[in-house]
Amino acid sequence: MTASVQKVAVLGAGSWGTAFAKIVADTAAEQQTSVETVLWGRNPQSMQQCQQTRVNEKYFPGIVLPEKLQFTADLQEALSGADIVVLAIPAQSLRAQLEVAIPLSEPHAVFVSLAKGLEQGTRLRMSEVIADVLSTVHPQLSESETQSRIAVLSGPNLAKEIVAEQPTASVIAAHTEEIAQAIAKVCASSYFRPYIGTDIVGVEIGGLVKNVIALCVGMCDGLGYGDNSKASVMTRGLAEITRLALALGGEPATMSGLAGMGDLVATCSSPLSRNHTAGRHLAAGVSSRELGTVMTQTAESVKTAPVVVELASQHGIEMPICEAVSAVLADQLNIKDLAPQLLGRSLKNENSTRSI
């Protein structure tokens, strides 16, 4: 990354991509910098309408976006000169998009993932997918050089609240604190506070597994379970997230921070959460295959849950909540029989894995 960021390209004009582009444009205006912000979306007609009206009608009707925020459906135009490329793209589409985007990107560009998921088939986290494609497109890069071009952002990021400029904090994790700091500077607005760190693994695992837990809490809501049940699932869900994160090299402190507990509480508690909403639809009888007909946004947990279970099994980690959710999604467990499966089968000390 260059010493001074001149342009940020945000790929993906959905709710979170649009919200993050607004954050960057507002930050530039508040700090009176010359940082250019461009939001790229696939649909030329939609992007042209956004450019003309300053409104992303599909996701935020009535919300006027910053005057200096630019919109385009031309990927090369978006990436040309961009020092930071923000990836607000669904997890299962990321690799294909990167294979097109990376050859068009600047040789120094840093890629920041907003996606929260595991790639089906490979079980790779999004930072690992970015590294894989980067090293394929640019085989001359050393491992350290590749890692220095990757960062992730996660936390309690309900896009509708952020667009309404309600105070929000998140964490940016990168190979070094210097890289994270450079990214943080372009999105430190009056209503969005980025913290920094280097625990990429912990930040990603916290962000992606909490979606599965939120899907389960949504199911509990839809089934009429009360606050005791939901609090139990959230608390034991955090234990599952922590076990997996630590097994993969994450740091314990991350799990009690914004990307762990903070994101979990917001996603499990809010009706604005797409994964919580998907869980309620499942409880109402909508199949996982039909969710796209009743929701306009992607619930990453539906495809992530079985991959989380695979990854946990690979590392010998018990995750009964994620296993139960995966079984419901695969039609191996009736959602009405969910309750007995949620909190594990054996008796054990809350703070250890030793059965009693």
By annotation, the residues acting in catalysis are 210
Beta bridge partners of 70: 38
CB atoms < 10 A from the CB of 75, how many? 17
Phi, psi of 313 (to 5 degrees): -65, -40
The rounded distance, in Å, linking the Cα atoms of 194 and 143 is: 26
The rounded distance, in Å, linking the Cα atoms of 54 and 217 is: 36
**DSSP string covering 174-190:** ESSHHHHHHHHHTT--S
Give the closest residue to 126 by CA, choosing from 310, 347, 304: 304
Eight-class DSSP state of 121: T
Q: What angle do CA 251, 256, 262 make, to 5 degrees?
A: 125
Give the CA count within 13 Å in the CB-facing half-sphere of 319.
33
Paired tokens of 22: 């607004």
Helix (H) or strand (E) segment spanning residue 151 = strand 150-154
Q: Radius of gyration of the chain from Cα atoms?
A: 20
Sheet holding 69-72, edge to edge: 69-72, 36-40, 7-11, 84-87, 110-113, 150-154, 168-174, 192-197
The rounded distance, in Å, linking the Cα atoms of 92 and 1 is: 27
Determine the angle formed by the axes of helices 274-283 and 301-314, rounding to 10 degrees: 90
The rounded distance, in Å, linking the Cα atoms of 121 and 277 is: 26
Amino acid of residue 95: R
Q: Measuring CA to CA, how many Å separate 91 from each of 87, 88, 120, 321?
A: 10, 9, 9, 22
Beta bridge partners of 72: 40
Eight-class DSSP state of 262: I
